[in-house]
Amino acid sequence: MKGNAAEGFPAATGFTWTYGKKPCGCHRGRGGVLYRCAYVCVFGGGALAAALFLSLHPTGIAFAAMKGVFAMSKTIVFSGSATALVTPFTDSGVNFDTLGQLIDFQLDGGTEALVICGTTGEASTMTPRERADAIAFAKQRVNGKIPIIAGTGANNTASAIRHSIEAQEAGADALLVVTPYYNKTSQHGLVKYYTDIADAVDLPVIAYNVPSRTSLNIRPETMELIARHPRVVGIKEASADITQIAQLARRCPDLAIYSGCDDHVLAIMAFGGRGVISTVANIAPKQMHDVCAAFLCGDVAKSRELQLALNPLADAMFCDVNPVPVKTALRLMGYDVGALRAPLCDLLPQVQAHMEQVMRNYGLIG
């Protein structure tokens, strides 16, 4: 069964965000990158008190006046929910028919951006040609409605630079760059790694901190140094360390922080985060969109309700190594996503049975 069933979720929020314009009056520029609106949330007594509208110069430098004080911020690639999209495969390469269906499903669900060739997309198993073709296809398919973010990080700076240049040539609007893994580096080395990559391209760069996969953590003080580069505009934070993320928000007020954990979206947005780069949104794009939309529109109570309702499904998508569960889930929903590429392998029967029951509870399968 294909679709986006709402059973198992609270009533719809009622927010109607279209791809080109949102209720706040935000518009998109070339490639879907936001150029006129940013959200600054001011909290008092635990409640959302105000949102300051920023007028953005087309270069991405934002100037705002509040009580006579001017603030400046970086390019905003997106606010809300971005999906780290799976890559459907055939025996010989990328299944572009299914990739198009998945992209359309995301657009219909209100997703704000797509990450192509990320971890969930099994990028480490893809050839350079497959990566470039997938990025170019996604760019053409969305037709400027939302930005395409390409995953380009590596454990070799030269390879990461090459991936980044190729992604730019393929039409990506921004880059998601994971820290070096296995051979890793020092905190000083991280500053040089991101600086070298950002110097090599003309695109906004979003750093990706996921110590559970890389055994390397970007400390807040290190990210503060990295963010001095004008093209480093954000970070996907998947450390699951809320204390660290609070320190990061304090040190880097102009940096867009995106949750890398589907169950921490509300918490990170409460610290000023702009949204999420999500796995569960592959199968529930509208539901994750609504979590973010409610918060950004000032309805924190609704966002909390939606986040808590979504968490059991998000947990089920991590019952095994990502993207094994979510790719299996899409297959159960009727999408021909093909096989996982080794060393990834299918779920054990008992694990899949549990995941299927959770999906039934949410009305995603019969």
* Residues belonging to the active site: 208, 236
Distance, CA of 337 to CA of 191 (rounded, Å): 37
> Which residues are paired to 353 by β-bridges?
none
The residues pairing with 178 across neighbouring beta strands, listed in sequence order, are 208
What tokens does 240 get?
Answer: 């699951």
Run of H or E including 191: helix 187-200
Please, what's the b/e burial string for 316-340 (b: 16 or more CB within 10 A of its CB; e: otherwise)?
bbbbbebbbbbbbbbbbbebebbeb
Q: Is the N-terminal amide bond of 323 cis, ω within 30° of 0?
A: yes
DSSP character at residue 89: B
How many Cβ atoms are within 10 Å of 258's Cβ, its own excluded? 29
Contact 177, 164 (CB under 8 A): yes
Helices 285-296 and 300-316: crossing angle, nearest 10°? 150
C-alpha span between 220 and 24 (Å, rounded) = 31
> Nearest 10 degrees: CA dihedral of 157, 163, 164, 167?
180
The tokens for 305 are 């309700």
Give which of 290, 151, 66, 144 is closest to 269, Cα–Cα: 290
Alpha helices in 86-186 (DSSP H): 96-108, 128-142, 157-170
Rounded Cα distance between 12 and 365, Å, is 20
Cα separation, 125 vs 72, in Å, equals 40
